[in-house]
Amino acid sequence: MSSRDPNLECEHGADAAPYALGALENAEAYREHLLTCASCRAEVAELQFVADTLPASVPPMLAPPEMSERILATVRSEAELLKAAGSESDEPVKQRGRWRSPRVSFLGAGLAIAATVIVAVAIAVNVHSSAHQRVTSAQVAPGMHGTEASLRQSGGRAELVVSGMPQPPLGHVYEVWLAGASTPPRPTNALFGVTNSGRASVSVPGNLHGVKEVLVTSEPRGGSLHPTSPAVIRVTL
């Protein structure tokens, strides 16, 4: 249970869980809110740590072919249902306010974490064949002794896997950035911590088309809109 004073909690604290899971519609607006709200920053940091460390807590394994086929059959079935229902059936319901997520109870936050557990299991099962996975080793800052990192790309998704990484400084988290050949790093909502053994597995949001570098910096809790420290991890694509 959180140790924060309930009287200091923000009315937008309910958006922390969907933000940590990458499911908040207007994440950029909430990111700006985080810059001025210590309560929400702390909430995001706690939830993000759980979301990022769960995938690393179970050993990866390849799913049997029959499981992969069942999953693909379900996807095809859902696609046919959406097609039959019309082009607007899968559009999100429009709601008022700056962010999509309504004010939810602690039960809603619990369900969001449960969804993260399901995602973690899916990652562990690894339904994609490893033969189609592209692994790019990362450059690690000289001071990060014993740290190893790599970017794994498969099926249009990218995942940053680190080991032996030190904990971020007190009051900070690690933040993932994407940079183009001639554009400065742009922030993502991928904020993470590491386990006691220095491990983490972080989904890199967005499409990496046109991205030349994936960077990691240490930033204040809640993340930053611009890097405030040198990159500790750099993956060149």
Q: What gap in Å lies between CA 73 and CA 69, rounded to an integer?
A: 6
Going by their DSSP bridges, the two strands 157-163 and 200-204 should be labelled as antiparallel
**DSSP designation for 102:** P
**Each residue of 18-34: pLDDT tens digit?**
888 878 878 888 888 88
Segment 37-64, tens digit of pLDDT: 888 888 888 787 777 666 655 555 666 6
Residue 49 lies in a domain: no
> Does some domain include residue 24?
no
Verdict on whether the full-model pTM lies above 0.85: no
Identify the pLDDT of residue 84. Answer: 65
Alpha-helical segments (H) within the chain? 16-20, 27-34, 38-53, 65-85, 106-125
pLDDT of the residue at 137: 94
Give 214-235 pLDDT, tens digit per residue. 999 999 998 999 999 999 999 9
Domain harbouring 219, CATH code: 2.60.40
Beta-carbon-side half-sphere exposure of residue 155 (alpha carbons within 13 Å): 8
Proportion of the chain above pLDDT 70, given as a percent: 63
Summarised one tens digit per residue, pLDDT across range 60-115 is 566 666 666 667 667 666 666 666 666 555 555 554 445 544 444 444 445 455 55
* Within a domain: 183: yes
Instruction: Take residue 65 and report the two structure tokens written for it.
Output: 């072919």
Let me know if residue 43 belongs to a domain.
Answer: no
- Cα 109 to Cα 14, 102, 117, 173, 198, distances in angstroms: 7, 12, 13, 21, 26
Number of structural domains found in the chain: 1
Average pLDDT over residues 184-209: 91
* Element of type H or E holding 162: strand 157-163
In a domain, 210, yes or no: yes
| In-domain check, residue 209 | yes
* Strand partners of residue 153: 134, 158
- Burial class, 87, CB count within 10 angstroms (exposed 0-12 / middle 13-18 / buried 19+): exposed
Q: Return the pLDDT at 73.
A: 67
What is the extent of the structural domain holding 228? 132-236
The Cα–Cα gap between 83 and 216 comes to 40
Report whether pLDDT(129) > 50.
no
How far, in Å, are 78, 192, 194 from residue 199 at the CA level?
Answer: 35, 11, 5
What does the alpha-carbon distance between residue 166 and residue 149 come to, in Å, rounded to a whole number? 12
Within-domain flag for 84: no
In a domain, 12, yes or no: no
